[in-house]
Amino acid sequence: MKRKVLIITIALIVISLMIQFMGAKTSFAANKEKTTITLSDDKILVNGEEISSDTSKVIYKTINVEINSDAEEGVENTVIHITDGGVYTISGTATNTQIAVDSEDSDEVELILNNVDLTCKTAPAILIYNALDNEKAGEAGVKITLEDGTSNKITGSHIPKNSTYTENGETKSYDKKYDAAISAGVSLVIEGNGSLLVDSDNEGIETKMHLTINAGNIQCDASDDAFNASEDNVSVVTINGGTIFANIKADAEEGDGIDSNGYIYVNGGNIYAFASYKSQDSGLDSDLGIYINGGTVIATGNMTDEISEESKQKFIFLQFNNQIQAGTLVTITDENDNPIMAYKTDKSYTTFLYSSSDLNVDSYKVYTGGTINGEETNGLYTKINSYSKGTEASYTEANKSRGMMQGGPKEMVSRQQSNNANTILIVLICEIIVLALVIIIVVIMKKKRKNNNNNNNKQ
């Protein structure tokens, strides 16, 4: 009896430890100490003390100068190096400053932006060389959190291929290019109920793997792709929530609104994605497929990237016969000329994508011009009080189907939902395995005791 109690006790301890372990895995960098970094042009503070220049520290600074044809000559950047996993809360204002993360492959890193205004004119303002990357779409080992209620601005540049730089006077070279004001060599998650404005002379936010946006009010003003996930045939952009404004600057020569060299999944949020009016680019550009399963999407451009027929939400995707000029009102009505939506932008375009959970018509008309009175956000009229129609437009449907299928095998879910479901499943499997082991051990012990009793009786 004592042995059975001991076995069961050990089994319960094992189960408890497994549950605690799995629970810890769901909390981002939960086992790491939280660190505060306060920015200013006078001095940078780490947990209230001036940052060290000692390269053996977890956080230290160097003075870097970029050497390439795109960078202004001789600009000295203060680089804040983060070399370990953990949660880092960043606040304050600094110019000619970069935050660089380069930690171990097993390290989770969270950067909490708390009213940050960071400018780096000759390189990415936030550059993530390395950290944990489990390479699963919708998940990441690096997270940028926008602190609730805060306003954050990142102004940055890029690093061309085969560039060099000096670090504290020593010449070094980059092993790859980094194209955006916020550049990550690993997968990246962005969330939080704050706002983020990214201003870039090239791309806005780029990752070499997967990009997931769960929340936040995020605007990227870029001179190339506003958002980009760049690993060919691998990268996935997943948008689960938030308000996303992807804007290509008027003086840019090219650029997609949201670009993925793999897939794009929109599961929620409000997405405004406007490609360059000068180039054959798209509001949403994907090499392998675009799936719209929720949210509200407005996207314009001059190139057709078809929306998957496996999308779960209805959409209207139009190719106009003539380019719609900037400032032109475009209104979509039902077959009885009741307005469904109206839109006006400061960019010219030939392709127009609209999707919303409120879209429930199969037959519609499209008008350009006319007058309208109502409430608008980023050019989209969310409430129409009155409308007088303009001229019926000539167009073709960019997709043969308007969506509303039952969803395809590649449907994405949010990272949190995926993590929670996986955690529960793994814990249940562990409990079943341990319970089975306990039963087997108890059966063996009973059998052994029975054999011992039989031997004693024979004696």
pLDDT tens digits for range 72-105: 999 999 999 999 999 999 999 999 999 999 999 9
Cβ pair 120, 155 in contact under 8 A:
yes
Distance CA 222, CA 158 (A): 11
Mean pLDDT (the chain, rounded): 87
Per-residue pLDDT of the chain (459 residues; tens, 9 = 90+): 545 544 554 544 444 444 444 444 445 655 567 999 999 999 999 999 999 999 999 999 999 999 998 999 999 999 999 999 999 999 999 999 999 999 999 999 999 999 999 999 999 999 999 999 988 999 999 999 999 999 999 999 999 999 999 999 999 999 999 999 999 999 999 999 999 999 999 999 999 999 999 999 999 999 999 999 999 999 999 999 999 999 999 999 999 999 999 999 999 999 999 999 999 999 999 999 999 999 999 999 999 899 999 999 999 999 999 999 999 999 999 989 999 999 998 999 999 999 999 998 888 999 999 999 999 999 999 899 999 999 999 998 877 444 443 333 343 434 444 444 454 555 567 567 767 776 777 677 677 666 666 555 555
For the chain, the structural domain boundaries read 1-31+424-459, 33-423
What is the pLDDT at residue 407? Answer: 32
Q: Per residue in 357-375, pLDDT tens?
A: 999 888 899 999 999 999 9
Q: Is 10 exposed, middle or buried (0-12, 13-18, 19+ CB in 10 A)?
A: middle
What is the pLDDT at residue 442? Answer: 65
CB atoms within 10 A of CB 214: 22
